[in-house]
Structure 1
Amino acid sequence: MDDPENGQGTPAIVAEHLYKHYGDAVAVHDVSLTVGVGETVGIVGVNGAGKTTTVETIAGLRTPDGGRVRVLGLDPRRDRTALRQVLGVQVQRAALHHALTARELVDLYRSFYPDPVPAAELLDSVGLSDRGDMRFEDLSGGQQQRLSVALALVGRPRVVILDELTTGLDPRARRRMWSAIERLHADGVAVLLVSHAMEEIEHLCGRVVLVDHGRVVAAGTPAGIVESAGATDLDDAFVALTGRDLGEMR
């Protein structure tokens, strides 16, 4: 497996033995993962496998029942103020003010940071330059998704968590978002990406973590996982390792 620290000291993300229960339901059971500085790591699993709970716990949006998380050495719960300055998060169900325009939302988020990305540059990066005056509620689902990604990047974060980055996007918009992630990688930003699109994972991620029933069932490079599973591609490897059909992921 690749060295998760990439020879650059403290890893960007360290999650050790995470547990999260909801009543009798186990969402995350002993999940550990590491993302190195400047590395893009993918998390893959069927719906309900524990992917979103894992990344929301790492981001400090949920409190784990057990385990330890550090983001650039910061505790997401204890060091919230400091973490906001270095971590950008895009989740599936963003709670944004529907009456504000796209540009107003960007300007609002820009006010939280000392050196934010210019609004015009940010909207252009996600293909929304011509939608700045539209209210959030009037944007299409895909446009709302792209705006949520823009808001995650507004503060020039050093670590970014993205949950289902391109769900609902057309092929052109998807490729544009991929380019945005590739630029983050080139700039040394660490990215933790949740996705059900194997093509996306193979294109963007140096390593991948397969999660099933709240547990890590495999971790490594996409090619390494395919080889260890005796599969022909990552889709087949997922089925071989979990016994799940990929149709369950959608």
Structure 2
Amino acid sequence: MKDRRISVALLLPSLVGIILFLIFPVVQLVLPVIFGVKSNETYFSFLKATYNQQIIFRTIGIAFVTTLGLLVLAFPFAFWIAHQRMKVRKLLSLVILFPMLTNAVVRNFAWILILGRNGLVNTLLMDLHIVHQPVRILYTNTAIVIGLIYLFFPVMVTMLIDPIVSLDQSIDEAAAMSGAGPLTRFFKITLPQLTTSLLTGSILVFAGAMTAYTTPQLLGGNSSLVLSTLLYQQSMTLGDWRAASIVALTLILIALASLSITKVITKRISGGNEV
């Protein structure tokens, strides 16, 4: 009984902090939207507006493309790092995390210089005679995706390195002795063991890309609004806190839906692997 009281006493400050700084703000945000005057009409009118629908689909699309791009780019890189010697692996892991030590605004301003009309990319394309005039990359969805991939690349790689290192190599060796080729071993043995880690990394990246503000604001501008920049616009620029609450609730619902879908997929894959 005494140990239990001590445990409760130790957990109490954290519990109070979670209630005050996490649960209470969300409840305060959601209640006016749900129980306010004509709340249903206001929320559904927000969803029915073509302009808002474009922003919602743009946000989901950018998050999806960012997640897919990171799976394609980060997984091979993490696989390569995981198969290096311990010292090299630690050094490369530190190098990957280095960009996260710099300010997000500074990183995005660097991309503005690279993707701008007279930036490095357009200069290179024109010097190679691929294009005859500068291509508009900055302040587009493409620029946002590039910035988000750069932002979350260290996160995805870091999440995948340890699971790859922990793979049971004996199964792969047994399959190789049985005559299975490299591709067969990868898709039938290696990939199923990493499914949970890939899904976890994907949902973190998807949720992060959905709610990111600095990168879409600086690289997308007002021509490529997403839900996070729309939320800032409604609250800080227009002072419409009710509309901002609706945007925030939409972000929360999309995040919860993506988590639920990922949970169902993970359960089905785990059940299939057990069989």
Give the shorter-chain TM-score range. Answer: under 0.3
More strand per residue: 1
Larger Rg over CA atoms: 2
Q: TM-score, with normalisation over the residues of structure 1?
A: 0.25
More helix per residue: 2
